[in-house]
Amino acid sequence: MSKARISPLRSGFVHLALAGYTVIALFPVVLTIMNSLKDKNAIFRTPLALPTAETFSLIGYTTVLKQGDFISYFQNSLIVTVVSIFFALLFGAMAAFALSEYRFRGNALLGLYLAIGIMIPIRLGTVAILQGMVAAGLVNTLTALILVYTAQGLPLAIFILSEFMRSVSDDLKNAGRIDGLSEYAIFFRLVLPLVRPAMATVAVFTMIPIWNDLWFPLILAPGEATKTVTLGSQVFIGQFVTNWNAVLAALSLAIFPVLILYVIFSRQLIRGITAGAVK
């Protein structure tokens, strides 16, 4: 920490800017939660007002919990997200370790090839993916989503993790080799714990798009048994009538699991982002 004195005026401006950004970032979230606790008339009449004793209503939440199988939607979303993160991290870390640790022909080229996925959105391949899933009989299964999301998460995971793994000291790995650790043991017991902050960063960046995705659940797994939360809340959005209470309540509920996962990862995350820059 720098001990240099900063003038109160300057730090005031900094805090003003940060506070302004915080307000802008939180506004839609707060608005959603606020309105999910009001009755329908209040949502339309005074959308910016806090719920009062008259306008307070849990109708949205009761609708959501009654209608459809919301618990199972949540379950589906959680399974898909957690399993996809797990596989993206596992395979991404493995590929990153190979790319950073071993010298072989075409190493740089392979690294570039694996990173292309960051630049080209996976949705361009939707038709081919759908055909493939149909052929494999995986349509309307969570497996289909997990496979797609793992593939979607891999490029970023490999890109970030291979950079971090290059910074793990060679001496440490060599010490492990001399002590008789296998390459797997070196990977799992020495390298992975050291790149944990980077893993948390990758987990967060991978998690949010998966949790929020509507596209692939809609195309690959629209069946009732495999609906995710984002897809499930669409039930309440009709062409002519939209049940805003229910939509807002569903969205508010959908925020919490991400929030919890984020809190779990965030302490590591900050270290991950600043590592290398500070030190």
Partner 1 sequence: MGSLNLKSIRKAFGNHEVLKGIDLEVKDGEFVIFVGPSGCGKSTLLRVIAGLEDATSGSVQIDGQEVVNTPPAKRGIAMVFQSYALYPHLTVKDNMGLGLKQMGAPKAEVDAKVAKASGMLSLEPYLARRPAELSGGQRQRVAIGRAIVREPKLFLFDEPLSNLDAALRVNTRLEIARLHRSLKATMIYVTHDQVEAMTLADKIVVLNAGQIEQIGSPMELYNKPANTFVAGFIGSPQMNLIEAGRLGEGQVKTIGIRPEHIKLSRDNGDWKSKVIHVEHLGADTILYLETEIAGLLTVRLFGEHRYDVDDIVYASPDKAAMHRFGADDRVLR
238 binds partner 1 (CB under 8 A): no
Judged by CB under 8 A, does residue 41 bind partner 1?
no
Of the candidates 91, 96, 92, the one whose C-alpha atom is nearest the C-alpha of residue 167 is 96
Using CB under 8 A as the binding rule, whether residue 128 contacts partner 1 is answered as: no
Q: Write out the DSSP string of 23-85.
A: HHHHHHHHHHHHHHTB-HHHHHH-TTSPP-TTTB--HHHHHHHHSTTHHHHHHHHHHHHHHHH
Q: Which is nearer to partner 1, 87 or 164 (CB)?
A: 164
Q: Which stretch binds partner 1 (CB under 8 A): 88-96, 149-157, 178-186, 204-212?
A: 178-186
Q: Which of 106, 137, 180, 238 binds partner 1 (CB under 8 A)?
A: 180
Contact call for residues 276 and 166 (beta carbons, < 8 A)? no
Shortest distance in whole angstroms from residue 184 CB to partner 1: 13
194 near partner 1, rule: CB under 8 A: yes
* Nearest-5° Cα angle at 201, 210 to 100: 110
Q: Which range, of 53-61, 147-155, 190-198, 218-226, touches partner 1 by CB under 8 A?
A: 190-198
Asked whether position 177 contacts partner 1 by CB under 8 A, the answer is yes
First to last CA, the chain: 12
Among the listed residues 219, 191, 14, the one whose alpha carbon sits nearest the alpha carbon of residue 122 = 219
The least distance separating partner 1 from the CB of residue 9, rounded to whole angstroms, comes to 40
Q: Does 172 bind partner 1 (CB under 8 A)?
A: yes
**Interface ranges with partner 1 (CB under 8 A):** 169, 171-172, 174-181, 190, 193-194
